């Protein structure tokens, strides 16, 4: 079945550091890929998405590129801020299927 594997957390970085959170997936066909973010005490919010190979999703300085050859969708940001502290979830859905399959989440803490 479908699965999503994220790098283990927690991740702690200093402000203005470069961020990478790895995500790889297993799925048949051509899934859509998503990154969701969960700030403390809140539900999940869509951060960015990509629907086909080589697409780049971007939002709020975050980027992720859909790499079919490596089945990956790594999240990157060039300079993180304290306000980026949150839990980040990678997820996929398959065409014609509204269900999302989530990774286990990566907790990110940014220290001033």
Partner 1 sequence: DVKVTQSSRYLVKRTGEKVFLECVQDMDHENMFWYRQDPGLGLRLIYFSYDVKMKEKGDIPEGYSVSREKKERFSLILESASTNQTSMYLCASSSARGQRQPQHFGDGTRLSIL
Residues within the interface to partner 1 (CB under 8 A) = 32, 34, 36, 41-46, 49, 51, 89, 93, 95, 98-100, 102-105
* The two three-digit tokens of residue 96, written as one number: 């014609």
* The two three-digit tokens of residue 57, written as one number: 């999703």
* The two three-digit tokens of residue 110, written as one number: 């940014």
Least Å distance between CB 28 and partner 1? 16
**Phi/psi class of residue 61: alpha, beta or left (left: φ > 0; alpha: ψ in -120 to 50)?**
left
Bond prior to 7 in cis (omega within 30° of 0): no
C-beta closer to partner 1: residue 46 or 111: 46
Least Å distance between CB 14 and partner 1? 25
C-beta closer to partner 1: residue 59 or 85: 59
C-beta closer to partner 1: residue 44 or 108: 44
């Amino acid at each position: 079945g479908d699965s999503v594997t994220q790098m283990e957390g927690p991740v702690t970085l200093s402000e203005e550091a470069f961020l990478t959170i790895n995500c790889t997936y297993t799925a048949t066909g051509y899934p859509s890929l998503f990154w969701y973010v969960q700030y403390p005490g809140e539900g999940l919010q869509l951060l960015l998405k990509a629907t086909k190979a080589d697409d780049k999703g971007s939002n709020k300085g975050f980027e992720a590129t859909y790499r079919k050859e490596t089945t990956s969708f790594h999240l990157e940001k060039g300079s993180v801020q304290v306000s980026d502290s949150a839990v980040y979830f990678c997820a996929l859905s398959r065409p014609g299927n509204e269900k999302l399959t989530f990774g286990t989440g990566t907790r990110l803490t940014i220290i001033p």
